[in-house]
Amino acid sequence: MEGKVCKSCRIVIAHGDKCPLCGSADLTNKWSNYTIMLNAEKSDLAKKLGIKINSTFAITIKA
Ligand SMILES: [Zn+2]
C-alpha cells in the first residue's frame, strides 16, 4: 500500500500533499496496517478510531 497518511484523521492519501478531509499538510509515510472502511457508521473500529467516512485509513502511525 502506497501513500501518505494524515496524522490527525489517519486517512490514506494516494496523491497530493494535503489531507482532503481536514486540510492538514502534516502527513507521514511511516505507517503500517490499514483498513478499508466500507460501513463507517456501523463499525466499532471506526468509532474507536474516530472515523466517520468510508475510505482507507491507517491503523498504525509510526511517526
Ligand atoms: Zn486529515
Distance (Å) from CA 3 to ligand 1 centroid = 14
Could you list the residue range(s) of the whole structural domain that residue 56 is in? Answer: 4-61
Q: 15 CB contacts (<8 Å, ≥6 apart)?
A: none
Ligand 1 center to 23 CA (angstroms): 6
Taking the centre of ligand 1 as the mean of its atom positions, its distance from the CA of residue 63, in whole angstroms, is 15
CA gap 17, 40 in Å, rounded: 24
Q: Write out pLDDT tens, residues 16-62.
A: 999 999 999 999 999 999 999 999 999 998 998 889 999 999 999 99
- Please tell me the total count of domains within the chain: 1
Is residue 16 packed enough to be buried (19+ CB in 10 Å), middle (13-18) or exposed (0-12)?
A: exposed
Q: What is the pTM of this model?
A: 0.85
Question: Can you give the CATH number for the domain in which 31 is found?
Answer: 2.20.28.90
CA–CA dist 59, 45 (Å, integer): 10
